[in-house]
Every structure is written in C-alpha cells, then in structure tokens.
Amino acid sequence: MLLGGKMPRLIIWSECQFTRLALKEIVSRKLPYVTEVMFIGSDDKVNLCTRDYLIIDPSGDGFHKCYEFLNEHNSILEPERVLIFSSEVDMLMLDLLFKKEFKFLKKKRYLPEISSAVEKFIQLKNLMSDEDVFNYKITKMEEKILVMMMSGLSVKNISNILKLSVKTISVHKCNSLRKIGVDAKSSSGLFFFHKHVVGNRAVLQKSI
C-alpha cells in the first residue's frame, strides 16, 4: 500500500460537519498510518493528483458543488480511489454523468460497517457484498435521456435533439425515474442542473 514509503493523501470532501467528524474519528482510530488527511468543502481549493484518495459526500444541497469539484478534476481521478458516501440515487447520477464506476458506500450504515469499508477502500479492496449490489436495469436510451435531463434539457429539447416524439421521450423519462425511485412530479428537485451552469455541452457530448 505504501508508495515510495509514503501514504498518499486522503481528501474528504463534504458540506456536512457530522460527516467530517465521523470520518475524522474513523481515520484516527482505524487508519493511524494515514498521516495526511484533508477535510475540504466547496469553498476550499485543492489540487488533486492521481495517487490521492477521495471520500466525497454529495448529499443534500452540496450535490451540484460536488459535481463541479469532480468535473474540475475528472481527467486525473482514478475511480478506484474515489469513494462516494451517499445514497444510491446520488451514486447513479454521478456514474451516469462521469461514465466512471466509483466506489460506493451507503450513508445509512452502522459505524463499525463504515469503519471497515473505509479501511477496505484505502487498501483498494472491494467494498460491496452481494447484498449491497444494486442494479436499476436502466436501458441505454433511458440512461441517455436521464443524463440529458440532468443537463437541464426539457422533454421537448430532448425530442428535437434525438428526433423522437415528445411522447416517446416522456415514456423513457417516466420509466427511468420510476426505476430509480423518483416521483416524476417532483423530479425537478433531483435534477438540479437546470438551475446551475455546469457545462451542458460537456454533459451532452458524453450522452449522445
């Protein structure tokens, strides 16, 4: 694990103070050999390198800031060194947007489970048991439309771009939202991208 005799940095990104405190306690007790730990939020600047480990909590109002942070460092991130500490829906959204399979840890876990998972993460081991594996069974078209929705495009916009009827796009939209457990009537709360400038062009290039 030690590269050149020195443990790479562990960077913890979260807007939640409770998450920071819990992870700080876990690292200090379970991972005393991790000597360089940084706790950062959206207002902090840090230059990541490929050897860094990143634990990131995108929950709540911090999701769009998390996206911007990951997008800024996307070219140098190694997915196996990124742990998303969140809900399954947050994880799915980030996987679709970045086309990378980051490691994932559900927030609603007991402390010993979280502690063990963080240790496995640092050791670059598999975190998930067979019971933890989730599969929304989203089709390629549903995935494409989901990403385009997250970029801020309306059903009509997507219809024009993909040359499909509004009804067809709406069906795919409703199916994808149903599969990830989101009520279509309240989906604007999840797909926050229409309120933020987050690089629509880059997102669209990945999805089309």
Instruction: Tell me the pLDDT tens digit for each residue of 80-126.
Output: 999 998 877 788 888 888 888 888 888 877 888 888 889 899 888 87
pLDDT above 80: residue 191: no
Residues 102 and 185 in one domain: no
* Residue 38 β-bridge partners: 11
Residues 109 and 185 in one domain: no
46-81 per-position pLDDT tens digit: 888 888 999 998 876 677 788 888 888 888 889 999
Residues 43 and 77 in one domain: yes
Asked if residue 127 belongs to a domain, the reply is no
- CATH for 21: 3.40.50.2300
**Using CA atoms, how far apart are residues 86 and 16, in angstroms rounded to an integer?**
12
Residues 112 and 199 in one domain: no
Work out the angle between the directed axes of helices 155-162 and 140-150 (0-180°, nearest 10).
Answer: 130
Range of the structural domain that residue 59 is part of: 10-122
Work out the angle between the directed axes of helices 88-98 and 140-150 (0-180°, nearest 10).
Answer: 90
Residues 60 and 146 in one domain: no
Residues 35 and 71 in one domain: yes
Residues 189 and 116 in one domain: no
DSSP letter for 186, please. G
- The tally of domains found in the chain comes to 2
Asked if residue 5 belongs to a domain, the reply is no
Q: Is the dihedral of CA 23, 25, 28, 29 positive or negative?
A: negative
Predicted local distance difference test score (pLDDT) of residue 193 = 44
Give 12 or 153, the one with higher predicted confidence: 12
Domain final position from 122, 150, 173: 122
Residues 108 and 174 in one domain: no
Q: Which of 31-40, 161-170, 179-188 has the lowest mean pLDDT?
A: 179-188
CA distances from 110 to 22, 106, 115, 117, 167 (A): 11, 10, 9, 11, 44
**Using CA atoms, how far apart are residues 53 and 80, in angstroms rounded to an integer?**
9
Residues 86 and 41 in one domain: yes
CA distances from 6 to 47, 101, 117, 148 (A): 18, 27, 22, 42
16-38 per-position pLDDT tens digit: 888 888 888 888 888 878 888 89
DSSP letter for 6, please. B
Residues 44 and 84 in one domain: yes
CB atoms near residue 119 (< 10 Å): 16
Closest CA to 105 of 23, 28, 39: 23
